[in-house]
Structure 1
């Protein structure tokens, strides 16, 4: 059983378009989720989860990001009917927090970008 303050090695996987996964050492997330946090601490930090089970909290969001000029040029060559309405990237971000006895035992961060 993990206790607050235990030192362990955990990896967060980030997938990049066209590249293999990048493994980064992580014991906390960019949003501040840490191993050993209570369910209540996690909820205060991240807000209400989209879905909750006794052992997991699910968070997610979709961002609409405008394309830079180089990307607009690239996609307009690939798609003959490309318009300004198409000039967006959509980024899905999810965090799955796994709980053991009401404390964070692991978490998964995922970011996927599409057009």
Structure 2
């Protein structure tokens, strides 16, 4: 059974919220020094990238509304395939610069879906 586009967007939001909770109260140095935390964050970024990859196949029109969609999916691929050389500064940057915008856009798209459902 094919998943609804909203399910992928909910996955993105849930993962983004989890990442934000994982790093709450940390700075870049303390983040990098905690393998459990950065492992959890990287896992949630994998979920985000895969959810958006699946969304791009299931509903390309909706996926096209995600800024830098290919870069987000590419970041997932970088984490998977470059797992041995993850740069924590890049991940930290993504958490604070890219993730808030992605979360806002995904929430807005979901709100649009709710408006259409009446």
Q: TM-score, normalised by structure 1?
A: 0.24
Q: Whose RCO is larger (CA < 8 A, sep 6+)?
A: 2
Q: TM-score, normalised by structure 2?
A: 0.24
Richer in strand (by share): 1
Q: Which has the larger radius of gyration?
A: 1
